[in-house]
Chains A and B, each alone.
Chain A
Amino acid sequence: MRSSAAPRIRQNSVWFRVRKEKSAYLFLAPGLIIFSLFTVFALLFAFYLTFHEWSIIEPEKPFVGFDNYARLAGDETFLRSVLNTFYFTGASVPLGMIIGLGLALLLNQAIRARGLFRAIFFLPQVTPFVVVAIIWKWLYNGDFGLINYYLLEAGIIREPLLWLSDQNLAMPAVVLMSVWASVGFSMVIYLAGLQGVPEELHEAAKVDGANAFQRFFNVTIPQLAPTTLFLAVMGVIGSLQVFTQIFIMTRGGPVERTTTMVYYIYQAAFKFFDMGYASTLAFALFAITLVFTIIQLRINRKVTD
């Protein structure tokens, strides 16, 4: 005979609830096993690597304490890669967002062929990024690139520019190409955001005698704040990881002018097989990404309060 209290105690025990919800754990299992190995364990392993001199080719993997971190501080290439990455991010993210917003505003009007224009601006988004980089490598070519040809024709430049091998032009060239490739994304997100701006607000502002400019700055822009924050956060996180276009167009050159953080991580890990130092560089990228994200969320809180 069981006492009537026993089942209730059993029902409250964690073990009983785990058994009762067995199927939930079964459903989670496949995803969680992969996730545990390639994300959770990998993260801990990466942290472990930063305290070791870990070369793929050397059998010895000695513990070196904070040496890798100390090396960061004195590494000029690292410092340059951070500055290059900031340059890229600071130029390409705002530009892409402003142009994307402009196009979204234009396409939000009652005009013909909206779908066609939207598709054209979005085309670079659906093109494999490697292909975009190849096309632009070609456009920038100093001897027979289209960009030089039309700039010469228009009389804007006197002689062909060596876009990708000139120290002062290489990064702007990479920025220009990246903005061109990413504008379609900002545009689509802003279009979705504009659809969500209530018409009554505009009407009310009109009644109050606000002109188109005032309405834009006092109604549209504040209403789009969440959209802008989303694009800014995603854009910054993505730009800090810029790699593919660098690998294809400039290989980090000329003289490290376009060596970005991820390109440097790639070199450290898979050119010099220095896994310990490469992991340390990757953690530096992680830290910088976190700082930027927190700053952006703070700014957002200040603005919306």
Chain B
Amino acid sequence: MAVTLVEPELKPASAQGRKPSLRRRVAHLPIYVVLIIGGVIFAAPFAWLISASFQTSGDIFSWPPKWIPENPTFDGYISFFTETNAAQWFLNSTFVAGSVTFLQLFFNSLAAFVFAKRKFPGRDIIFILVLATMMVPPQVTMIPNYLILQHFPLFGGNDLLGQGGHGMLDSYWGLILPGAVSAFGIFLLRQFMMGIPDELLDAARIDGASEFKVYLRIMLPLSRPVLAATAIFTFMSAWEDFLWPLIILSDESKFTAPLGLAMFVQKNQTDWGLLLAGSVIATLPMVIIFIIFQRQFIQGIAMSGLKG
């Protein structure tokens, strides 16, 4: 008889009291081969980056490439922090990403709460307008926003009419303010908050809680999972944002980490040791955040992707 297409029923391994059958393990062999080849392709560039960041300039350019530093050195790291404003860049990035994340969580959740749980004239029109703008590529508003910041009244030497100075260009204000609220963030939070029973909120209202207290004491704690997920996303994307800081910053002491690195590539293409060390340092905080919050992160991706 020819081989049947219907496989014999496999009992769970535990029920058999033995390891998975040999047949099953052999069947998995090609899967491991493909995964390991793929894993090498994905891990090797990082391994090389870390290894090269501890090598002398001469060794970095050696042919064949050296995977293990022969004369390990911290020169790249030392010059990264002494020859550039690196420490300042990282502080800037952290401050800007932290501020954007905090403001977005606050403003987005306030708006989402109202859109999800209140009925008031104009609610649906405003919400649809907010959603509709999600279709607009950021590059469309980037140009006018540059001009708006440049002529922001009473900032950066501007008078009341926004003339005479550089406004919010080249300032933390300009990096933070336009990103302090996000349509997508409001949308995600609202989706979640709509699932929270009204009774919980009404109970507090009957007890005489103010609307702000209802938001702060009931809505926010109940929305913790979605808040955590969006916070991580917002922080990471603000941390690695590139085009906007590139456009509005010119003073090197205000650079964010990605911009500082990119500008270094443009300025001197030669000092790879420094650049690779800087790349390692710029990646570390992201990887650490990811490892700590891996669960929320994956959850958040699934949330934004599949329940949208």
Interface residues of A (CB under 8 A from B): 14, 17-18, 21, 23-25, 27-28, 30-32, 34-35, 37-43, 45-46, 49, 103, 106-107, 109-111, 117, 119-124, 126-131, 134-139, 143-144, 146, 149, 153, 180, 185, 188-189, 192-193, 196, 206, 209-211, 226-227, 230-231, 234, 237, 240-241, 243-244, 247-248, 262, 265-266, 269-270, 275, 278-279, 282-283, 285-286, 289-290, 293
Judging by beta carbons under 8 Å apart, are A39 and B177 in contact?
Answer: no
In the assembled complex, which residues on chain B have CB atoms less than 8 Å from the CB atom of A28? 110-111, 114, 126
Query: What distance in Å separates the Cβ of A46 from its nearest Cβ neighbour in chain B?
Result: 5
Judging by beta carbons under 8 Å apart, are B143 and A269 in contact?
Answer: yes
Q: List 14 A-B contacts (CB under 8 A).
A: A17-B121, A21-B118, A34-B180, A38-B178, A49-B144, A109-B31, A124-B42, A126-B236, A131-B283, A135-B48, A210-B5, A241-B138, A262-B243, A286-B140
Among residues of A, the one whose C-beta sits closest to the C-beta of B52 is A138
Query: What distance in Å separates the Cβ of B5 from its nearest Cβ neighbour in chain A?
Result: 5
Judging by beta carbons under 8 Å apart, are A45 and B107 in contact?
Answer: no
Q: How far is the CA of A49 from the CA of B145 in the complex (A)?
A: 12
In the assembled complex, which residues on chain A have CB atoms less than 8 Å from the CB atom of B34? 106
Are A130 and B215 CB-contacts (below 8 A) given A25-B120, A30-B110, A241-B137? no
In the assembled complex, which residues on chain B have CB atoms less than 8 Å from the CB atom of A153? 64
Are A38 and B141 CB-contacts (below 8 A) given A27-B215, A28-B110? yes
Known: A120-B42, A244-B242. 8 other contacts (CB 8 A): A24-B123, A31-B181, A38-B145, A131-B279, A149-B63, A189-B302, A286-B137, A289-B137
Are A46 and B262 CB-contacts (below 8 A) given A34-B107, A285-B139? no
In the assembled complex, which residues on chain B have CB atoms less than 8 Å from the CB atom of A103? 35, 38
Q: How far is the CA of A211 from the CA of B6 in the complex (A)?
A: 8
Query: What distance in Å separates the Cβ of A119 from its nearest Cβ neighbour in chain B?
Result: 8
Most buried by A among B143, B246, B262: B143
Judging by beta carbons under 8 Å apart, are A31 and B258 in contact?
Answer: no
Pick from B69-77, B79-87, B128-136, B154-162 the stretch touching chain A: B128-136
Q: How far is the CA of A30 from the CA of B186 in the complex (A)?
A: 13
Judging by beta carbons under 8 Å apart, are B137 and A134 in contact?
Answer: no
Q: How far is the CA of A94 from the CA of B154 in the complex (A)?
A: 49
Query: What distance in Å separates the Cβ of B226 from its nearest Cβ neighbour in chain A?
Result: 16
Contact of B186 among A31, A135, A185, A279 (CB under 8 A): A31
Most buried by B among A149, A153, A234, A266: A266
Most buried by B among A103, A119, A275: A119
Are A279 and B143 CB-contacts (below 8 A) given A106-B31, A192-B306? yes
In the assembled complex, which residues on chain B have CB atoms less than 8 Å from the CB atom of A27? 110-111, 113-114, 211-212, 215
Q: How far is the CA of A127 from the CA of B258 in the complex (A)?
A: 11
Contact of A129 among B28, B108, B240, B246 (CB under 8 A): B240
In the assembled complex, which residues on chain A have CB atoms less than 8 Å from the CB atom of B240? 128-130
Judging by beta carbons under 8 Å apart, are B107 and A134 in contact?
Answer: no
B197 at the interface (CB under 8 A from A): no
Contact of A247 among B113, B114, B129, B262 (CB under 8 A): B262
Judging by beta carbons under 8 Å apart, are A45 and B144 in contact?
Answer: yes
Judging by beta carbons under 8 Å apart, are A130 and B262 in contact?
Answer: yes
Query: What distance in Å separates the Cβ of A257 from its nearest Cβ neighbour in chain B?
Result: 20
In the complex, which residues 2-35 of chain B have their Cβ closer than 8 Å to any Cβ of chain A? 5-7, 20, 28, 31-32, 34-35
Q: How far is the CA of A35 from the CA of B20 in the complex (A)?
A: 57
Instruction: State the majority secondary structure of interface residues on B.
Output: helix
B208 at the interface (CB under 8 A from A): no
Judging by beta carbons under 8 Å apart, are B275 and A134 in contact?
Answer: yes
Interface residues of B (CB under 8 A from A): 5-7, 20, 28, 31-32, 34-35, 38-39, 41-46, 48-49, 60-65, 106-108, 110-111, 113-114, 118-121, 123, 126, 129-130, 133, 135-148, 177-178, 180-181, 183, 186, 211-212, 215, 236, 239-240, 242-243, 246-247, 257-259, 261-262, 265, 272, 275-276, 279, 282-283, 286-287, 289-290, 294, 298, 301-302, 305-306, 308
Judging by beta carbons under 8 Å apart, are A131 and B143 in contact?
Answer: no
Contact of B140 among A34, A46, A134, A136 (CB under 8 A): A46
Query: What distance in Å separates the Cβ of B187 from its nearest Cβ neighbour in chain A?
Result: 12
Q: How far is the CA of A218 from the CA of B60 in the complex (A)?
A: 51
Contact of A134 among B35, B43, B60, B279 (CB under 8 A): B279
In the assembled complex, which residues on chain A have CB atoms less than 8 Å from the CB atom of B144? 41-43, 45-46, 49, 279
In the assembled complex, which residues on chain B have CB atoms less than 8 Å from the CB atom of A35? 130, 133, 181, 183
Contact of A289 among B135, B141, B305 (CB under 8 A): B135
Most buried by A among B106, B289, B294: B294
Q: How far is the CA of A143 from the CA of B270 in the complex (A)?
A: 13
Q: How far is the CA of A131 from the CA of B276 in the complex (A)?
A: 9
Most buried by B among A46, A188, A283: A46
Contact of B147 among A107, A117, A226, A275 (CB under 8 A): A275
Q: How far is the CA of A278 from the CA of B242 in the complex (A)?
A: 19
In the assembled complex, which residues on chain B have CB atoms less than 8 Å from the CB atom of A262? 139, 243
In the assembled complex, which residues on chain A have CB atoms less than 8 Å from the CB atom of B111? 27-28, 31-32
